[in-house]
Structure 1
Amino acid sequence: MTHAIIARKAGGPEVLELTEAEVPVPGPRQLLVKVAAAGVNFIDTYQRSGIYKVEYPFTPGSESAGTVVAIGADVVDFTVGDRIATAEGSRSYAEYTLVDADKALPVPDGVDDHTAAALPLQGMTAHYLINSSFRVEPGHTVLTHAGAGGVGLILTQLLKARGARVITTVSSDEKEALAREAGADEVLRYSGFADKVRELTDGEGVNVVYDGVGKDTFDGSLASLRIRGALVLFGAASGPVPPFDPQRLNAGGSLSLTRPTLGHFLQNPQERHWRSAEVFRAAASGALKVRVGGTYPLAEAAHAHRDLEARNTTGKLLLVP
């Protein structure tokens, strides 16, 4: 027997319970992985709370890193003892999890287990945002929200490496210090940020806004864009954006709006390898710093969810079996 977190119904963090479970058995093209750490992400809270529909009993978690301890039939790319990570797993809030071999990412030497668990989802998210949702070029001015969050810190570093000017928003002095350490050129508070962005850009606005906050920042994000700017709405940490009139895009200056999700940017092995290899290589070389903002024993998954939903965390939160 082993242990896993199980929610038997939708609800608040209190529905997450540490429960005895059977060790999973890998099927064809699957890996059984002993979890070293599992990433805690907003999608886990959406599933737990019932915003996203799942079947109960339910074990959250799509992101983890660990060691392969058994392989199923037809696995040729990995062997027992390999270190892997994934952003596309399931039931990773557990001591053991199954990962499809096609969605397993080799972890290079020089990347420790906690970094490996913290990087896949947010690292590949940042990668697709700046390369595929809106291609950032040297000299672009970019606004990112939640600059001290897990995606925000990685995004800022990748944007600076690309040669962009980065404006970001945070909620506290502590978070401002982290955002500046990551390379942000300007750090704002959320209140009145759109007017301040206009001031910082001589009234012109930014080329693109990367907005993972959602409802609370959406209007200000639109108001921060220059003519023909793009709003990339990739999350909803403050809640989903209500329906809105597309005519606002015309009135704002022929703006563009997209609502992407990571899975649509990992459509084949080549794309998955491109994104993961670039971010892991940057982490292994030290060019990309990955901040783990908190580690929790697996049994304290509810605590991790409370902290994440309160938005009083920085960097990545991990559960450690």
Structure 2
Amino acid sequence: MKAILVSKHGGPEVLEWRDHAISDPGAGEVRIRHEAVGLNFIDVYFRTGLYPAPNGLPLVPGNEGAGIVTAVGEGVTRFKEGDRIAYAGPIGAYAEERVIAAEKIVKVPDGIELDVAAGMMLKGMTAEYLLRRTHVVQPGDTILFHAAAGGVGLIAGQWAKALGATVIGTVGSAEKAELAAANGYDHVINYRTEDFVERVKDITGGKGVDVVYDSVGKDTFPGSLDCLRPRGLWASFGQSSGPIEPINIGILSQKGSLFATRPTLFTYIASREDLEASANALFDVVARGIVKIDINQRYKLAEAAQAHTDLEGRKTTGVTVLKP
């Protein structure tokens, strides 16, 4: 089969479409044929070496996909050949086929297309844990979500609005502002033309928000802290603009006895119970139309380098899938 391989860290040009061997599934594993693979910023982190590859180089990137089970290994009883499945993690999705632990995949309900599932698992379960577990969003809460027109942002905007929150988002263009406003955001701030801290203060009457969900990192710090009410929570779950420099924890007391966390999806879905609960919550809101998943970009998997170029250039919005 063919896969995208990274033999050295670097820019999008290190993504190579090459022949790659695949084995039969071992005990507790299944082999799957991908229908589609999701594109996420974490793929960039692994490509550049910001995040270390679990098994070193060469590396097959990708943490999200959906497809059909084509073979099952010894001891696998939860899945059979022909099952429609999806997953978020472990790494290795940029391939026509792969072998994966059965404990890491979930069945996709009949009413959800595999292309949609491929592009929503990592992003949708990220929105789930952020909104329902990192900070339990309640009716009356006011939240700020950076990168509101991104894959996680568009899902989170719809979901948070359904939970009864006032939802504020930041974006980098007028077009992205329109997209965010159509996906649950009550207030959208274009950070290229407005000071997002001042706008948040205006919107909240100086009170600040209950929680800031921040996947941007360097460019939004420490501004994110200045948007919080006293004892508010800063949830830093990504760093698309670059890593944040080491900080003196005293800044949290200076800015209002703030809480801070650096969560990851893979901790929140580490157990089978948590994985199924998160996936089922996502499937439920999508099936009921509370959250709509639009695939805004499609690329051939062989063209992953162009997809990465567009992602890093902030040319993509919402969900993007790569097609083998």
Q: TM-score, normalised by structure 1?
A: 0.98
User: Can you list the C-alpha shifts for 1:193-233, whole angstroms capped at 9, x where unaligned?
Assistant: 00110011111100000001011002111000011111000
Does the aligned pair in 2 maintain the 1:296–1:318 contact within 8 Å? yes
Q: Provide the residue aligned with 1:4 in structure 2.
A: 3
State the identity %. Answer: 46
Structure 1 spans left out of the alignment, 5+ residues: none
Does the aligned pair in 1 maintain the 2:159–2:290 contact within 8 Å? no
Distance 1:33 1:118 in 2: 16
Any residues of structure 2 matched to 1:82-161 within 5 Å, and which?
A: 82-161=83-162
Q: Match of 2:125, as an amino acid? A: M
Q: Provide the residue aligned with 1:216 in structure 2.
A: 219
Any residues of structure 2 matched to 1:182-201 within 5 Å, and which?
A: 182-190=183-191, 191-201=194-204
Q: Match of 2:242, as an amino acid? A: G
Q: 2:205 aligns with which of 202, 207, 211?
A: 202
Q: Give 1:151 shift.
A: 0.2
Q: Give 1:139 shift.
A: 0.1
Distance 1:168 1:301 in 2: 28
Q: 1:289 aligns with which of 288, 292, 317?
A: 292
Q: Say whether residues 1:303 and 2:306 are aligned partners.
A: yes
RMSD: 1.0
Q: Match of 1:3, as an amino acid? A: K
Distance 2:19 2:159 in 1: 41
Distance 2:254 2:316 in 1: 36
Distance 2:4 2:29 in 1: 21
Count of aligned pairs: 320
Q: Provide the residue aligned with 1:64 in structure 2.
A: 65
SS of 2:162's partner is helix
User: Can you list the C-alpha shifts for 1:283-320, whole angstroms capped at 9, x where unaligned?
Assistant: 12322111222111111010111111112210122110
Distance 2:137 2:299 in 1: 35
Does the aligned pair in 2 maintain the 1:64–1:89 contact within 8 Å? no
Does the aligned pair in 2 maintain the 1:64–1:92 contact within 8 Å? yes
Q: Give 1:116 shift.
A: 0.6
Structure 2 spans left out of the alignment, 5+ residues: none
SS of 1:198's partner is helix
Show structure 1 runs of 4+ deviating over 6 A.
none
Q: Provide the residue aligned with 1:46 in structure 2.
A: 45
Q: 2:281 aligns with which of 274, 278, 287?
A: 278
Q: Give 1:173 shift.
A: 1.4
Q: Say whether residues 1:232 and 2:235 are aligned partners.
A: yes
Distance 1:98 1:159 in 2: 35
Q: Provide the residue aligned with 1:181 in structure 2.
A: 182
Distance 1:302 1:224 in 2: 36
Distance 1:181 1:114 in 2: 22
